[in-house]
Amino acid sequence: MSTKPSKRIPVLDLEKQYEQIGNELEESVLAVLRSGSYILGNNLKRLEEGIASLCDCKFGVGVANGTDALILALWALDIGPGHEVITTPFTFAATVEAIVLRGAVPVFVDVDPKTYNINPALIEKAITANTKAILPVHLYGQPSDMGTIGELAKRFGLKVIEDNAQAIGASYNGRQTGSLGDVACISFYPTKNLGACGDAGMLVTNNETVSERLKVLRAHGSRQRYYHDELGVNSRLDEVQAVALLTKLPHLLSWNEKRRQVASSYARALNGCGGLITPQVMLGNTHVWHQYTVRISGNSADWRNKVKEELAARGVDSMCYYPLPLHRQPAFAALGYAAGDFPVAETLANEVLSLPMYPELTDEQVKTVAAALTEVLGSQPVPVPSIQHVALS
């Protein structure tokens, strides 16, 4: 008998969040609208201080979105044409897009089979005389191995830029993500653990010189209005988004803890489910579970997609982050990579599936999702892959 919930279970339910804080959110936004102060105001200053403190950094610089944060981080560190930046092929396109838009060259390194983050054991081999930075991504809410990355950066004189878009509030060996490199980039896209009511982003750093440069770059290269020291851009986190984020910020730690509880519930409910590999948390890491991403064994995107469709037919939504590694995307074809260059990333792209994950998800809903997934995976045998399977577990 098919398992189907009485109400569809979405991947993310922001309406549930709004039910909790809607009145407070509306009052704070309305106060900004009434104030007549909409750009670079007191709310942004308070938010910059709050996010910097959360990340155990001295300085925060609000910008228009997470992609701008990545571009400006590279810019502020003088990374551009002729330079190489080592990063992962298994992430959202913005990470690599920013490198290319700065005129630098992304150099991909395959990912770790357990964390899905950049594999630190492969980084040193990719370093050349042109390498200027390492850009790790804390994927799905779990920190990369920043100890090893930091040691390599120090030994070779490289900068470290954290893509902390998915892991705000996470920690590595007791240290907050955002404080583990030269500068870190945060996205407040509405689906993030701390999401705005539109686009917004921030950079955090302990380097005052970098912080001041970022403030200049985000405001048309201007320290004093109508006086421009260098070229810059218009990338400012506005007061409406700032106050919305300020309203949500006090809830973030409890929301992250609830996500951890949901992840634990999933692990229990899916224990022993055949054809499935559940995510692992590395020793010393505090995961914030931006996504709960399982692997559908078989190294077949068609099989994973069929599982996704069968879940949807049972009233359970899911999402694939990400179905095609960046080295195989047409937008980055000029980099010269080919299929098979990064086998772990390619296998993951065929197998990963993110299940519903948000703080308001109930134990009953988790059990329903797990039952539906178990039913789907048990309905037919796992296919034999048509290409060489890379053992990742």
The contacts found for 214-219 with CB under 8 angstroms, 24 or more apart, are 214/61, 214/63, 214/72, 214/73, 214/76, 214/183, 215/61, 217/72, 217/75, 217/76, 218/61, 218/63, 218/64, 218/68, 218/72, 219/40
Q: What pLDDT shows up at residue 391?
A: 45
Give average pLDDT by consecutive 10-residue segment, the chain, 393 residues.
76 97 98 97 98 98 98 98 98 98 98 97 98 98 98 98 98 98 98 98 98 98 95 98 98 98 98 94 97 95 97 98 98 97 98 98 98 90 47 47
- Which amino acid does the sequence have at 249? L
- Give me the architecture of the 16-250 domain, per CATH: 3-Layer(aba) Sandwich (3.40)
The predicted pLDDT at position 290 comes to 98
Order of strands, edge to edge, in the sheet holding 131-135?
59-63, 201-205, 183-187, 159-163, 131-135, 84-87, 105-108
Angle, vertex CA 111, rays to CA 172 and CA 153, nearest 5: 55
Specify the residue for token string 């951890």: 260
pTM across the whole model: 0.95
Structure confidence at residue 379 (pLDDT): 73
Q: Where in the chain is the domain with CATH 3.90.1150.10?
A: 253-378
Burial (CB < 10 A; 0-12, 13-18, 19+), residue 209, is exposed
Q: Where in the chain is the domain with CATH 3.40.640.10?
A: 16-250
Architecture of domain 253-378: Alpha-Beta Complex (3.90)
Strand partners of residue 224 = 227
Please name the residues in contact with 187: beta carbons below 8 A apart, sequence gap of 6 or more.
Answer: 65, 66, 67, 69, 165, 166, 200, 201
Asked if residue 262 lies in contact with residue 361, where contact means CB atoms within 8 angstroms, the answer is yes
Which run of H or E residues covers position 1? none
* Beta-sheet pairing, 175-176 with 222-224: unpaired
